[in-house]
Chains A and B, each alone.
Chain A
Amino acid sequence: MNIHIPTPLRTYTDKQETVSVDGATVAEGLAALTAAFPAMHQHLFTAEGKLRSFVNVYLNDDDVRYLPAKEDSPVASTDELTIIPSIAGGTPGIPCRLPGCCR
């Protein structure tokens, strides 16, 4: 399978945007990736070995978190995994003056 690496993590893949690895499941693919590039591990996983909350992993167009088998989902060699950190923010602490806008 091919794994697409987001800009900030390419520091750990010798600048490669796409890394090709072997593996029968999402978890095996990620394990192969971190075996090839060990410095990547701490940026994807917590000390407990769980995917960091802000790291999204997509199997083709599906969020792995919402697949029935999650990280054990089977992957074919033609499938694409995409690692994508989340993008969010805001301006908290501003009192809402719009009716019905804020909860």
Chain B
Amino acid sequence: MPLRIPQSLYSDLRAHGEETYPHECCGILLGKSDTETLTVHQLIRAGNTRTDSAHNRYHIAPQELIAAQRQARKSGLDIVGFYHSHPDHPAQWSSTDFAEAHWFGCAYVITSVDGDKTKGAAQITNSFLLTGTSEDDKAFLPQRIEFDSPASN
């Protein structure tokens, strides 16, 4: 199941990672999912609440998630995924990412941002679909990213 995203939003989430470098950025993807595709229509930047070690940890406050869910409901959309950056680290999920992933059927988008600790440039962006139904059978599956013209809503 591919992730479809307008090119403009894709550029936005990569730019977010460059802006917060050397810290991690994170955000929420609103859109629609059916049996074939996850489609992103909106992107919500989240404040990374893990300020104690923001370069290698991210956490989205539940209040922000609730606000995002409310916004999604108003727009006839759903939360379909999340994104975060890996400063100076490959665009692959970490064991912590996996242990703390609980949104089954949602996309987890990771962008590697390489730099010199003062300025970074977005490198690779990968998306992983969290499959399974519970903590016991969950798995991250690499997911193709397809580009779309801007969403019409």
Contacts and interface: CB of A to CB of B under 8 A. Distances in A.
A102 interface: yes
Interface residues of A, number: 32
Given A6-B79, A61-B66, A94-B88, A87 B97 contact: no
A20 interface: no
Contacts of A54: 100, 102
A63 B64 CA distance: 12
A94 B55 CA distance: 10
Nearest to B95: A92
Contacts, number: 114
A97 interface: yes
B43 to A, nearest CB: 14
Contact of A88 (B28, B69, B100, B104): B100
B59 interface: yes
Interface string B54-86: 111111101101100100010000111010101
Interface of A: 4, 6-8, 11, 17, 42-43, 54-56, 58, 61, 63, 82, 84-94, 96-98, 101-103
28 contacts: A7-B33, A7-B79, A7-B105, A8-B104, A11-B105, A17-B73, A56-B62, A61-B66, A63-B62, A87-B28, A87-B65, A89-B93, A89-B96, A89-B101, A89-B108, A90-B53, A90-B56, A90-B57, A91-B96, A93-B94, A94-B88, A94-B89, A96-B55, A96-B56, A98-B22, A101-B54, A102-B55, A102-B56
